[in-house]
Amino acid sequence: MKRLVIGLMLICLLIGSASAWTIDDRENRVAGTVDFYSDGHGILNVTGYPLINFNWYQSGDMIRASYLFYGINVYYNASTDELYSPSVENVTLKR
């Protein structure tokens, strides 16, 4: 049941025309934003670097974002209202 609720919350969060998230790097290495669009593409905008267009899709409570041959799984933490990836330490996405 919990997975279903989280999945529905993610759908509501990301289905809008665009969902913008701010990069929160606890080590202050990078700053910027990530935009998810309902058509399955997104834009990573890291300060000082070129924009990166990526594709994403949702599978249950997981979002898979991919760029060229690189991909990352992202999850939603409902208690903190953040997106995070276990493979990227000290970095979350906040609204």
* CA dihedral for 26, 32, 37, 41, sign (positive or negative): negative
The pLDDT, as a whole number, for residue 18 is 60
Number of domains in the chain: 1
Report pLDDT digits (tens) over 37-74.
Answer: 988 999 999 999 999 999 999 887 789 999 999 999 99
Tokens 């209202």 belong to 81
The pLDDT, as a whole number, for residue 15 is 45
Provide Rg for the chain, Cα atoms.
13
* 0.75 surpassed by pTM: yes
CA distances 58 to 24, 26, 31, Å, are 22, 26, 25
Percent of the chain with pLDDT over 90: 51
Percent of the chain with pLDDT over 70: 81
CA separation for the pair 86, 79 (Å, rounded): 16
Token pair for residue 53?
Answer: 């267009």
Domain membership of residue 53 as a residue range: 2-94
